[in-house]
């Protein structure tokens, strides 16, 4: 049997995606442990769920550091204490420096609440409504230095419905994020994803046959 993999999850707030990953790992008996949940904010609600489930937690407050480089160095030290095979961004709200991203190249995933390449950055639900899109959704991607532009692992689409607000639309997307993200992370844990030339090959991206 393959060795257990260590997953470190980074959050900034509610942590519902983190919770979905923890529950899936447990219910499906992944060959992985959630080694730690780390937040840049002491008041992140998700820390309570993690602690209640016996998961190690840590807080690295970005406000305590004078520069992004100094924050990222402290964050990397906290992460590396748990020897991660995979770092999972789950509603993590700080842009990461190129040096930090390089350290975890090929082993750091993010879930972004839009159908990338539409709407990188913040306020994606408002942007999808303002653009009049009929579809919106979420994307799991490997993290690279360029924000929300890393190789895409999987996406889910949801309809934009008449009368939607950012709140109703984000709730519809979030429900699907909780299916999408655990499945993508499981693929990584099971060594089913390969990245070549910025392209992910995996269960939803078979290699061309000729
Ligand atoms: N870092 C890199 N280098 N690359 C990515 O793809 C990243 C990343 C860090 C976070 C998540 C991302 C998202 O899915 C993510 C992807 C924060 C911001 C942001 O503007 C934008 C995108 C994402 C996360 N943050 C502000 C900042 O100045 C702070 C906002 C706040 O604190 O509320 O860092 O959407
Ligand atoms: C999720 O919708 C996630 O995709 C998004 O924030 C929400 C976090 O919810 N991520 C970002 O916007 C990253 N900048 P959660 O804390 O309940 O998982």
**Ligand with minimal distance to 101 CA:** 1
pLDDT at 204: 81
- Residue 13 Cα, ligand 2 centroid: separation in angstroms? 8
Burial 136-150 (b: 16+ CB within 10 A, else e): bbbbbbbbbeeebbb
1 falls in which pLDDT band (50, 70, 90)? low
Query: How many Cβ atoms from other residues are within 10 Å of residue 198's Cβ?
Result: 11
- Please determine, for residue 183, whether its predicted confidence score (pLDDT) is greater than 90: yes
- The answer to whether the bond into 117 is cis (omega within 30° of 0) is yes
pLDDT at 210: 67
- Please determine, for residue 208, whether its predicted confidence score (pLDDT) is greater than 80: no
The answer to whether the annotation marks 1 as part of a ligand binding site is no
**Ligand with minimal distance to 72 CA:** 1
Question: Ligand 2 pocket: which residues have CB below 6 Å?
Answer: 11, 13-17, 90-91, 93, 111-113, 138, 174, 177
- Residue 94 Cα, ligand 1 centroid: separation in angstroms? 5
- Ordered by where they begin, the domains of the chain are 1-104 (3.40.50.170), 113-139+156-210 (3.40.50.170)
Nearest to 4 by CA among 68, 111, 86: 86
For the segment 161-175, the average pLDDT, to the nearest whole number, is 98
pLDDT at 12: 98
67 falls in which pLDDT band (50, 70, 90)? very high
pLDDT at 148: 97
Residue whose CA is at the smallest distance from ligand 1 atom 33: 93
- Please determine, for residue 8, whether its predicted confidence score (pLDDT) is greater than 80: yes
Q: For 98-134, how does the pLDDT look when each residue is reduced to its tens digit (9 = 90+)?
A: 999 999 999 999 999 999 999 999 999 999 999 999 9
For the segment 57-83, the average pLDDT, to the nearest whole number, is 98
- Please determine, for residue 207, whether its predicted confidence score (pLDDT) is greater than 90: no
- Please determine, for residue 155, whether its predicted confidence score (pLDDT) is greater than 70: yes
Q: Which atom of ligand 2 is nearest to the CA of 92?
A: 13
Q: For 12-52, how does the pLDDT look when each residue is reduced to its tens digit (9 = 90+)?
A: 999 999 999 999 999 999 999 999 999 999 999 999 999 99
**Ligand with minimal distance to 96 CA:** 1
70 falls in which pLDDT band (50, 70, 90)? very high
- Residue 180 Cα, ligand 1 centroid: separation in angstroms? 20
Q: Which atom of ligand 2 is nearest to the CA of 124?
A: 12
pLDDT at 103: 98
Q: What is the DSSP string of 88-131?
A: EESS--SPPPHHHHHHTTTSEEEEESS-TTS--SS-HHHHHHHT
For the segment 147-175, the average pLDDT, to the nearest whole number, is 98
Percent of the chain with pLDDT over 90: 95
Show which residues are catalytic: 112
């Amino acid at each position: 049997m393959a060795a257990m993999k260590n997953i470190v999850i980074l959050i900034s707030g509610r942590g519902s995606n983190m919770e979905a990953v923890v529950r899936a790992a447990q219910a499906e008996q992944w060959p992985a442990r959630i080694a730690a949940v780390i937040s840049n904010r002491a008041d992140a609600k998700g820390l309570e769920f993690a602690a209640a489930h016996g998961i190690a937690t840590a807080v690295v407050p970005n406000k305590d550091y004078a520069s992004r480089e100094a924050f990222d160095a402290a964050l990397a030290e906290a992460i590396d204490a748990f020897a991660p095979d995979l770092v999972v961004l789950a509603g993590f709200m700080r842009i990461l420096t190129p040096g930090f991203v390089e350290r975890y190249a090929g082993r750091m995933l993010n879930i972004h609440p839009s159908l990338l390449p539409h709407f990188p950055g913040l306020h994606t639900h408002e942007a999808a409504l303002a653009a009049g899109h009929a579809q919106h959704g979420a994307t799991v991607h490997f993290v690279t230095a360029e924000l929300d532009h890393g190789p895409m692992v999987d996406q889910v689409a949801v309809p934009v419905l008449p009368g939607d607000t950012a709140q109703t639309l984000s709730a519809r997307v979030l429900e699907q994020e909780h299916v999408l993200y655990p499945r993508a992370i499981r693929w990584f844990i099971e060594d089913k994803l390969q990245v070549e030339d910025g392209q992910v090959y995996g269960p939803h991206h078979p290699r061309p046959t000729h």
